[in-house]
Structure 1
Amino acid sequence: MASLKVVCALFMCMVVAAPLITEAALTCPQIQAGLAPCLGYLQRGGVPAGGCCPGIKRLVGSATTTADRQNACKCLKTVAGAVKGINTGYAAALPSLCGVKIPYKISASTNCNSVK
Structure 2
Amino acid sequence: MKSLLLAVCLILALHCGEAAVTCETVAEDLYPCISYVAQGGSVPDTCCTGIRTLNSQAQTTEDRQSICRCIKSAMGGAPLDSINNALSLPAKCGVNLPFNPSPSTNCDSIN
Tell me the equivalent position of 2:94.
Answer: 99
1:40 aligns with 2:30: no
Tell me the equivalent position of 1:75.
Answer: 70
Tell me the equivalent position of 1:25.
Answer: 20
Tell me the equivalent position of 2:45.
Answer: 50
CA RMSD in angstroms comes to 1.8
TM-score by length of 1: 0.73
Q: Which amino acid aligns with 1:73?
A: C
Give the total of aligned pairs. Answer: 93
Give CA deviations for 1:55-92 in whole Å, capped at 9, x if unaligned.
1100000110010000000000112227x556121111
Q: Which amino acid aligns with 1:71?
A: S
**Structure number with larger C-alpha Rg:** 1
Tell me the equivalent position of 2:107.
Answer: 112
Separation in 2, partners of 1:50, 1:99: 12
Identity over the aligned pairs, expressed in percent? Answer: 41
Separation in 1, partners of 2:69, 2:38: 20
The gaps in structure 1 that reach 5 residues or longer are 1-21
Q: 1:106 Cα deviation (Å)? A: 2.4
Q: 1:103 Cα deviation (Å)? A: 2.1
Q: 1:50 Cα deviation (Å)? A: 2.6
Separation in 2, partners of 1:65, 1:74: 14
Separation in 1, partners of 2:76, 2:25: 18
**3-state SS in 2 of match to 1:51:** helix
